Amino acid sequence: MPTSCESSNPLILDNLRVLRKLGQGNSTVYLVVHRQESKQYAMKVMSISRLVQKNKLRRLQTELHVLMDTDHPLLTPLYYAFRTQTHIFLVLGYAPGGTLYNHVYNGRNPKGRVPESTARFLVSELVQAIEYLHVKGYVYRDLKPENILLTSEGHVMLTDFDLVMEDRCAMMVVSSSVRGGQSGPPVTTSLHRSSSFVGTPEYMAPEVVSGCGHTQSVDWWAVGILAYELLVGKTPFCGQTREETLATISSLDAKVNLHFPDDVFISKEFVSFLHGMLQVNPTQRLGSGPPGCDEIKRHPWLSEINFAILAKPPKDLLATVQARIQKSHAEEVEGSEITMDFTTEQPTTPGEVLDADLSFFKPYQRPASTVRLYASPNPSLPLQRMAEVQSSPTKQRSNSLFDSVVSFLK
Catalytic residue set: 142
Chain centroid to CA 381: how far? 27
CB 157 within 8 A of CB 149: yes
Contact predicate 162/63, CB 8 Å: yes
Alpha-carbon torsion angle 221, 226, 232, 235, nearest 10: 70
Residue 286: helix, strand or coil by DSSP?
coil
**156, 241, 268, 383 from 376: Cα distances, Å:** 17, 46, 32, 6
Residue 155: count other Cβ atoms within 10 Å of its Cβ.
Answer: 23
Q: How many CB atoms neighbour CB 315 within 10 A? A: 12
CB atoms under 10 Å from CB of 185, counted, come to 8
**Inter-CA distances, 19 with 7, 33, 104, 226, 320, Å:** 21, 7, 25, 32, 22
Query: H/E element holding 90?
Result: strand 87-93
Q: Are 79 and 365 in contact (CB under 8 A)?
A: yes
Calculated CA dihedral for residues 195, 296, 317, 31, nearest 10 degrees: 40
CA 158 to chain centre: 2
